Amino acid sequence: MREIKINNFTWIDLQKPRYAEIDNIGKRFSLHPVVIDDFSSPTLRPKAVAYENCLYLAIHVPIFDRSLKTTYPVEVDMALTENAIITSHDREILIINSIIDNIRNNRIKKKFGAEDSPASLAHYIVEMLLDSCFPKLDHFSKRLDYIEKQIFEGHEKEMVFEISILKRDILNFRRTMKPQRSVIESLSLKDYKFINPELRPYFQELVGTNIRIWNGLESVKETIESLEATNNSLLSTKLDLTMKILTIFSAIMLPLTVYSNILAMSASIPFGSHPMGFWIHMAIMGIIATITISIFRMKKWL
């Protein structure tokens, strides 16, 4: 637990909290029992709920796991009271660590002071969490450029797996971000007790930030789907070419196989006693193969 005194209010940040720790904080600030339960258990969807003595927020932050090459949501719970803000998360979030360092070293530069009130700090935290999504979108763009380059260099088979991994990553990112908009909009539209009216335009700006993130996700989604279609088309073309070559080879060999079977069924093989008999039959088979290829060319199958 990290507790920071900021002017006339307190910020308490809980990382991987135990229930006893949450219960103590709840009793200290007289939090509603439902809020304590929400802090103790995962919340599947973002939400903003007003209680008599606090405002509870639950948002989800997309975090990229480099080892698994995928994005997963991390829940950040917030409770705003008259003189405190309490945040809780089950995993370490570097952005929150950075905010704490900035506050301790007075490095926050805002249109309004994040140290003015719990609501101001809540806005700053949400804004920084949303801003952290843009480098992830840049990461998607770099991976898309890499996949595009590999596709047109002839590595279509290798890119099938890479495309699937990136599509899963984008899908998880979208599932994390899509429900956030309505929650952020409610902070700017509804008359919440613990959010000053003058802060509403700033929360409205966060709606715009969320829209820009979503538009970026839509762009990378459309791009990866187009690259997947292109990759599948190239793979299909290569497969068709391979099947065409095998079919032509089989078609050329078919009359030769028939000819050799006819000879095998003959009681007396023509030119069997001739010293050049083998080469005579090879020449005949060559002529048959040439005629077959000529017919294919006349039909424009080659």
The pLDDT confidence band at residue 64, using thresholds 50, 70 and 90, is confident
Across the chain, mean pLDDT equals 85
| β pairing state of 84-89 and 9-15 | parallel
The predicted structure's pLDDT at residue 213: 92
211 and 246 assigned to the same domain:
no
277 and 143 assigned to the same domain:
no
Structure tokens at 171: 């899908």
Structure tokens at 272: 């069997």
- Answer with the one of 197, 216, 237 that is the final residue of a domain: 237
- In this predicted structure, the answer to whether residue 8 has a pLDDT above a threshold of 90 is no
CB-side neighbour CA atoms (13 Å) of 177: 29
169 and 282 assigned to the same domain:
no
The pLDDT confidence band at residue 294, using thresholds 50, 70 and 90, is confident
Instruction: Point out the least confidently predicted range of 53-57, 149-153, 294-298.
Output: 294-298
Residue environment code for 246-257, b if the CB has 16+ CB neighbours within 10 A, otherwise e: eeeeeebeeeee
DSSP state of 53: S
245 and 214 assigned to the same domain:
no
The predicted structure's pLDDT at residue 111: 45
Residue in the block written with tokens 């509603």: 32
122 and 202 assigned to the same domain:
yes
Domain limits for position 249: 239-298
Q: What percent of the chain has pLDDT over 70?
A: 95
Which residue, among 81, 78, 85, 67, has the nearest Cα to 129 in the 3D structure? 78
Residue 80 CB neighbours (<10 A): 24
- Answer with the one of 237, 252, 271 that is the final residue of a domain: 237
The pLDDT confidence band at residue 267, using thresholds 50, 70 and 90, is low
Residue in the block written with tokens 């391979």: 242
68 and 107 assigned to the same domain:
yes
Render pLDDT for 176-213 as a digit per residue (tens, 0 to 9).
Answer: 888 888 888 888 888 888 888 888 888 888 888 989 99
What is the number of domains present in the chain?
A: 2
For every residue of 213-277, DSSP letters joined together read HHHHHHHHHHHHHHHHHHHHHHHHHHHHHHHHHHHHHHHHHHHHHHHHHHHHH-SS-TTTTSTTH
> E-assigned strands of the chain?
2-6, 9-15, 47-50, 55-65, 70-80, 84-89
86 and 181 assigned to the same domain:
yes
190 and 205 assigned to the same domain:
yes
Q: Kindly compute the dihedral angle of the four CA atoms of residues 143, 146, 150, 155, in this order, to the nearest 10 degrees.
A: -30
Per the CB < 8 A criterion, the answer to whether 178 and 39 are in contact is: no
75 and 171 assigned to the same domain:
yes
255 compared with 266, residue with greater pLDDT: 255
- Answer with the one of 237, 268, 289 that is the final residue of a domain: 237
158 and 272 assigned to the same domain:
no
Render pLDDT for 161-175 as a digit per residue (tens, 0 to 9).
Answer: 999 989 999 998 998
Q: What percent of the chain has pLDDT over 90?
A: 16
Render pLDDT for 31-54 as a digit per residue (tens, 0 to 9).
Answer: 888 888 888 888 888 888 888 888
The CATH number given to whatever domain includes residue 59 is 3.30.460.20
d(CA 270, CA 46): 87
d(CA 276, CA 22): 98
Residue 267's φ and ψ, nearest 5 degrees, are -65, -35
The pLDDT confidence band at residue 215, using thresholds 50, 70 and 90, is very high
Structure tokens at 68: 């698994």
The predicted structure's pLDDT at residue 214: 92
120 and 255 assigned to the same domain:
no
Instruction: Point out the least confidently predicted range of 33-47, 82-96, 150-164, 271-285.
Output: 271-285
186 and 269 assigned to the same domain:
no
